[in-house]
Structure formats: C-alpha cells, structure tokens
Amino acid sequence: MNETTNNDKPPIDFWFDFSSPYGYLLSERIDEVAARYERKVRWHPILLGVVFQSTGSAPLTLQNAPKAAYSLHDFARSARFMGVAYRHPTLFPLPTQNAARAFYWLHGQDCALARRFAHAAYRALFVDNRDISAPDTVLEIAADLGVDRSRLQAALQSPEIKARLKDEVEQAMKAGVFGSPHVIIDGEPFFGADRLPQIEKWLATGGF
C-alpha cells in the first residue's frame, strides 16, 4: 500500500482484522491522532485466523471462561472510554476475507474510498450487528458508497485479490504481528487499542 506523505516522515502501519473489536476501536481514532503529527496511516486488513494458526493462539472469547467474560466486558468499557459507539455482534468471531478482499480491490483504485469502506464495514459489524462475513453484506456496504456491485462481486473471487490478501497476511507475520490491532511506527510495535496514548506520545516526542 503506497500512500504518500506530504513530508519526509514515514507512514504508520496499522494491521487489523475486521472481526477485531479492539481493531475497530483503534480504527476510529488512529488517523486523527496521526494527522496531528503530520503522519499518514497505511491500513492493512489481515486474517487473524491464519495468524492464530501460526502462533497457536485463539480469539479472546474462545479462550478460558474468565478471560472470555472479561473480554466481552472490556470491549464495551473500552468503547465507552474512547467515546466510540459499540454493540457486540451476534455472530462473533466471524470470517472476514470478503471484507478484506474488498478493501484491497478498492485500494487499488481509490485509497480514500477504501478507507471509507473500512470504516463502514467495521461499523456495520460493531454498531449495526450486520454479518460482514456474507458476500452480499460486503457488496451492499460498498454499493452504499457508490461502488459498482457487479465489478466488486467479481473481484472478491479474483486470484489477484486473493493473492494480495495472502501476501499481506504473510507480511504481517514477518513483521511480528500476532493480533489486532497492531501498529508499527518507525519500527516500534504497539499492540492493542489501549496503546493509543503511548502511540500519541511516541509521535509527539519521537520516541521514549
């Protein structure tokens, strides 16, 4: 993803899965924080299922009962703390390859449109309780943004877009990404939406 900046400051890499509650929360804030420090953000949707297979991990809500219960509580509390609308979806976790493929296809044409789609897809899941694993839902979300439905429908099954998503997942794991959200600034990794204050201080000070 080759978004350019208006200065010589390198972009921030934001790795996330569309089924990640904490990824959703950070997605609502990361661009505005970066902009305050004249940084751009490169968004990279990935598939946590593939990452978890590699690391032997699992979604928080599918781990032990106390951790699952805490996680559900913390998703909502973190949303309130950050001032972000949140409704835990009925289907969770769910596969997100269709949303991720749609993002990369759109990004190849219009970066800003891809970003709008990402926000719309995240909000569809975590605010409107829509099933974004379903291709029809992804197509409807994109169509509402003016995207040609038939062209996107074909793109979701194209070998090129499938390969792009696979490559992004591989690049994420090579970069040390093990969950969502995972942000890398100047080579420094930050994991979790709760690292936003640290991210902002890092951007403000150049490191600590």
Q: Please report the pLDDT score of residue 7 as a whole number.
A: 62
Select from 190, 158, 193 the least CA-distant residue to 177: 190
Which residue in 72, 102, 100 sits closest to 86, CA to CA?
Answer: 72
Quick one: pLDDT at residue 4? Answer: 40
The pLDDT of residue 89: 98
Is residue 45 within 8 A of residue 177, CB to CB? The reply is no
CA–CA dist 176, 29 (Å, integer):
23
pLDDT tens digits in sequence order for the chain, 208 residues long: 444 444 678 999 999 999 999 999 999 999 999 999 999 999 999 999 999 999 999 888 899 999 999 999 999 999 999 999 999 999 999 999 999 999 999 999 999 999 999 999 999 999 999 999 999 999 999 999 999 999 999 999 999 999 999 999 999 999 999 999 999 999 999 999 999 999 999 999 999 9
Q: Give the start-to-end residue ranges of the domains of the chain.
A: 12-205
Query: CA angle, corner 81, sides to 145 and 64, nearest 5?
Result: 95
* 201-205: long-range pairs with CB below 8 Å, 24+: 203/33, 203/34, 203/36, 203/37, 203/39, 204/37
Which residue has 């942000």 as its token pair?
183
pLDDT the model gives residue 8 = 79
In CATH terms, the fold of domain 12-205 is Glutaredoxin (3.40.30)
